[in-house]
Amino acid sequence: MPTMTLLAPARADAARALAAGTAVIGLQWGDEGKGKIVHLLAERHDAVARFNGGANAGHSVVVNGERFALHLIPSGILHKGVPAIVGNGVVVDPEQVLKEIATLSARGIDCSGLVISDRAHVVMPWHKAEDEAREKWLLQAGSPGTGTGGLRPIGTTKRGIGPCYADKVQRATAIRMGDLLRPETLLPRLQAICPLKAALLGALTGPGAEPPAEALDPHAIAALCARWAAGLHGHIRDTSALLLDLIDSGKRILFEGANATLLDVDHGTYPFVTSSACAASGIPGGAGVPMSSIGTVLGVCKAYSSRVGGGPMPTELSGELADKVRTRGREFGTTTGRPRRVGWLDLVGVRYAARLNGATGLCVMLLDVLAGLDEIKVCIAYDGPGGRTERFPPDGAALEQVRPIYQTMRGFGGGSGGGGGADLTTARRLGELPPGARAYLELIERFVGVPIRFVSVGPDRAQTIEIE
C-alpha cells in the first residue's frame, strides 16, 4: 500500500514536467497581437486557458480572411476540439459571453468546448454603472493639472472591470459564476446587495442622476441571472480541477494573457493600469495551476508602441506620422473603437516586461506597419530627473517625468527608405526580409536579451515568420 501512494504522485510529477505549457503575455500596454499567436499555437496544445481580465480585452484574429473579434472567450475556441477555459481570475460579463457564443455559432464555430470557472466573478450591471460614474466623477472632481500624482480619469473601457475586482476583494457583495446556478440562495443575497449598491451609486452620481430603481431591483436582477444561468449552465464548472487533471495526464496548456504587463495592477504604470494580474505571475492564481505548469513564456510586442486610455507613454507620436502608423496598424480599440495612441518602440519598457515575465521567447508583431518610413526611432534609454537611465519606472508619476533617448535607424521596405522596396507582408523566412528590417529585429533581440521566435508581417495567420 505505501508504495502505491508514493508512486502515483511520482508519475503525476513526471507527466507535469513533460507537460509544462506555454504562456502568451503582452509586453506593452495591450493590443500587441497576442490573439494571433494564441491562434497559431492552439493546435500544438491540448487546451487554451485565460487567467485574467474580462471583456476589456479584445483579441482580433483573422482566419482565412475572416476577422473574429473576441473579448471573453479564449481564441482557442476557433480550433475544433481544443477546450477554451475561462479561469477563476477572469471577471465574466455573462451577457458578453452569450453574445460571443451567438456570433461564433452563427459563423459555424462550435462553442461546446467553452468552460467557465465557477469561481470567476460576475460583472453585474452595477459594476458597469460604477465604472462609468467613477470616471465621470474623476473628470469633474479630479485635479487634472497635477500630473499622475493628482486625480484624473483612468480612461477605462467602462466594462465594469475595476468595480468587479474591487467587489471580489471586498467579498461579501460579490457574485461568482457558480452562484448563478443556485437561484434559491442568490435572490436573498441580491435583496441585501441591491440597496447597498443603490446607496453607493446614488452617492457617486449625486441627486437627480441616481440609477433608475428598476436597474437595481433584486427580482429583476434575479431574472437576469436566471437567463444567464439558462444560457451558460452547461459551461460552468471547476476549471482548476479540470486543468490539474489535464496537467497530471501530460496535456499541455496554452495560457492566454489578456491586457498586458505594463497594465498589470502591481507591475504596470500605476494607477493607469487595469485591475488584474496580467503578467505571467498571474497564471497560477488566476487559473488555479502550479507554477511548474508553465515552461515557455512568449512575450509579445509590437514593432512600435500603442496605448489606449490615460497614462504616460514616453515615445508617443503625434501629427501626420502618428496618423499614418495608426491607420496602417488599424489602431482602433477592438473593445471600445477608440483610436489608440501610437509611438516608437520603447525597448526600455519591453525589456522590463520581458524580465518580469521570465520571457523565454519574443514575438514581434506588426513589423509591416513600419515599412516605407524614411527613418525609425527606438527608445533605448530615458533621460529622467536622476539623469540617463535604462531602468523602467513602473509607476505612472515617475514615468511621466522621463524623456526618451532614441537610436535612429534607416527605414526599410515598402518602397522608400534604406532596405529597398521589398514588401514585408510576403516574407515567410527571415532571409526574405529587407536587411534594414533584419537589423531592426537584431537590435530588439540584443537589447531585450531574449530570442525572437515569431515575427508577424500581416494580420493573416499565414503572414508569420517562425524562427526555430
Q: Which residues bind ligand IMP (CB under 6 A)?
A: 29-31, 56-58, 154-157, 159, 161-162, 258-259, 263, 272, 274-275, 308-310
Least distance in Å: CB of 252 to ligand IMP?
Answer: 25
Compute the half-sphere exposure of residue 426: CA atoms within 13 Å on the CB side of its CA. Answer: 6
Contact, 367 vs 455, CB < 8 A? yes
Give 255's strand partners: 23, 49
Pick between residue 25 and residue 154 the one whose CB is nearest to ligand IMP: 154
- Helix, strand, coil fractions of the chain, as percent rounded to 5: 45, 20, 35
Selecting among 39, 59, 127, 235, the annotated active-site residue is: 59
CB atoms within 10 A of CB 451: 11
Distances (CA, A) of 93 to 56, 65, 138, 182, 293: 10, 28, 24, 18, 28
Rounded Cα gap, residues 466 and 454, in angstroms: 5
Pick between residue 73 and residue 373 the one whose CB is nearest to ligand IMP: 73
Full DSSP string of 377-394: EEEEEEEETTEEE-----
Alpha-carbon dihedral angle through residues 367, 373, 379, 385, given to the nearest 10 degrees: -140
Contact, 188 vs 225, CB < 8 A? no
Least distance in Å: CB of 362 to ligand IMP?
Answer: 19
Least distance in Å: CB of 358 to ligand IMP?
Answer: 22
3-state secondary structure of 460: strand
Q: Which amino acid is at 463?
A: Q
3-state secondary structure of 4: helix
Least distance in Å: CB of 166 to ligand IMP?
Answer: 11
Least distance in Å: CB of 41 to ligand IMP?
Answer: 19
Pick between residue 148 and residue 274 the one whose CB is nearest to ligand IMP: 274
Q: Bin 437: left if φ > 0, else alpha if -120 < ψ < 50, else beta.
A: alpha
Contact, 423 vs 415, CB < 8 A? no
Residue closest to ligand IMP, measured at CB: 309
Pick between residue 186 and residue 258 the one whose CB is nearest to ligand IMP: 258
Pick between residue 29 and residue 454 the one whose CB is nearest to ligand IMP: 29
Least distance in Å: CB of 221 to ligand IMP?
Answer: 22
Distances (CA, A) of 59 to 35, 52, 120: 5, 14, 20
Rounded Cα gap, residues 313 and 311, in angstroms: 7
Pick between residue 75 and residue 156 the one whose CB is nearest to ligand IMP: 156
Pick between residue 268 and residue 393 the one whose CB is nearest to ligand IMP: 268
Pick between residue 104 and residue 265 the one whose CB is nearest to ligand IMP: 265
Rounded Cα gap, residues 168 and 98, in angstroms: 22
Task: Pull the grid cell for residue 279.
Answer: 503578467
* Whether 59 is catalytic: yes
Least distance in Å: CB of 98 to ligand IMP?
Answer: 20
Least distance in Å: CB of 11 to ligand IMP?
Answer: 39
Full DSSP string of 47-66: EEEE-S--TT--EEEEETTE
Full DSSP string of 156-178: --SSSHHHHHHHHHH-TT--BGG
Q: Which amino acid is at 317?
A: L
* Whether 219 is catalytic: no
Positions marked active-site? 31, 59
